[in-house]
């Protein structure tokens, strides 16, 4: 799941985190006019949930910051699923390019 990390924040609660600006696709993100910060990665998560995994909708919450993406909640399985999907995008420049292009064509606005 690298570069994503799943941590237990309190008993029964988990956080999926990514240190923004540390992925293999940061150059592609910037090339497409975005800042690879935590808010941008929240947008990636939202797009992935909407397009690939609608069953994850509402099973966790987001709390990004400029330097970090974070999703949290009590459903470890949902966060693991999201983490695996995000890790795949974070390691594949072509997939990231397609995700951004398709999301913007559908009217999605990344908040970065």
pTM of the model: 0.95
- Using pLDDT thresholds of 50, 70 and 90, give the confidence band for residue 1: confident
Could you state, in order of their start, the residue ranges of all structural domains in the chain?
A: 5-105
What pLDDT score does 76 carry? 96
DSSP, collapsed to helix, strand or coil, labels residue 72 as: strand
- What's the topology of domain 5-105? Ribosomal Protein S8; Chain: A, domain 1 (3.30.1370)
Look at residue 9 and tell me whether its pLDDT is greater than 90: no
Which has the closest alpha carbon to 93: 22, 23, 18?
A: 23
Structural tokens at position 46: 């939202």
């Amino acid at each position: 799941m690298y570069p994503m990390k799943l941590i237990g924040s309190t008993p029964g609660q988990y956080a999926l985190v990514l240190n923004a600006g540390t992925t293999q696709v940061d150059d592609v993100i910037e090339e497409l006019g975005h800042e690879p910060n935590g808010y941008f990665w929240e947008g990636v998560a939202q797009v992935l949930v909407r397009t690939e995994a609608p069953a994850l909708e509402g099973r966790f919450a987001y709390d990004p910051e400029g330097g970090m993406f974070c999703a949290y909640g009590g459903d470890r399985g949902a966060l693991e699923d999201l983490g695996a999907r995000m890790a795949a995008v974070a390691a594949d420049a072509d997939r990231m390019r397609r995700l951004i292009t398709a999301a913007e064509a559908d009217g999605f606005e990344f908040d970065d």
